[in-house]
Amino acid sequence: MLEDDKKLAALVRKGLETQGFTVDFCDHGDDAYALATTRAYDALVLDIMVPGRDGLSILRNLRDQRLTVPVILVTARSALNERLEGLNLGADDYLSKPFYVDELIARLHAVTRRAAGNALTLLQHGNVSVNLVAREVRVSGVTVELTAREFALLTYLLRSPGQTFTRAQICEHVWNYHFDPGTNLVDVYVQRLRSKLASDEFDDHPLIETIRGVGYRARSLPAPAA
C-alpha cells in the first residue's frame, strides 16, 4: 500500500493484518513503483497524492508494461474527472478518504476475486480445501479453525506445492519482518498447522514437509489417474 499519512497507514496495517493479509507499506511513490515492478502482489492500494511518483502515474506505467495486478486508488479528493482518469487508466476500484478499513478489506476481496476468477478462489490439496474468499479451511469436509497467521502460512505454501521456502521467506511473507535466526516462530506455526490438519491421508507423509537445513514446502501430490 502506498500511503504517506503515517497514522492512517498504521491503522490500515493493523486492520489488514488482523484479517490475515500480509502488507508492504510505502510512503514514497518511487519506492512503491520499485516494489510493484519487482514483486508479485495480489493487489495494490495506491494513494494518488504522495511524494515522488503519484498513484496515477504508477498505475499508468504498470498498465503500459501490461502488468495486470488489481489496483485500488485512494485519494482525499473527490473530483469526478480524477476518478474517471484513474478508471480509464485501468484502476479496478476507487476509494475516497476518509474510509473504513472494513470497506477497504471488502474491496480487496472483490478485486482479487475478479482477477483470479472463480476457479482460483479455492485451493484444493488432497483432502484439504481452502476457500480464499470465505477464508475457510476444511479437512475431509470438516471445518478447521485457523488463526490469521496460520491461514496466511497455509495458503502461502499451498499456492506453490512442491516449492521449498526458506524460514526467511516465510517470515517475510507471513509476518512481514526479516528472519531472526534465533527464533523458532516458523517451526512452531508449522507444528500447529500439522496438528490441526492431521488426518489419515497424511499420517505417513505430512502435508507440510520439512526440508532439512532449508525450510518447508507443501508436499507435491501425484496427479489423479486418468
Q: Any idea what the CATH number is for the domain that residue 13 is in?
A: 3.40.50.2300
**Once rounded to an integer, what is the mean pLDDT over residues 168-192?**
84
pTM: 0.53
Number of domains in the chain: 2
Residue 1 lies in a domain: no
- The residues with which 75 forms a beta bridge, in sequence order, are 96
- Indicate the pLDDT class of residue 18, thresholds 50, 70 and 90: confident
Residue 223 lies in a domain: no
Q: Which of 116, 144, 161 is the last residue of a domain?
A: 116
Q: With a cut of 80, say whether residue 78 has pLDDT above it.
A: no
Q: Which of 93, 116, 139 is the last residue of a domain?
A: 116
Whole-angstrom distance, CA of residue 122 vs CA of residue 136: 10
**Once rounded to an integer, what is the mean pLDDT over residues 117-128?**
71
Whole-angstrom distance, CA of residue 101 vs CA of residue 107: 10
Choice between 139 and 81, residue whose per-residue pLDDT is larger: 139
**Once rounded to an integer, what is the mean pLDDT over residues 148-168?**
88
Q: Which of 57, 85, 116 is the last residue of a domain?
A: 116
Q: With a cut of 50, say whether residue 132 has pLDDT above it.
A: yes
**What's the pLDDT at 225?**
39
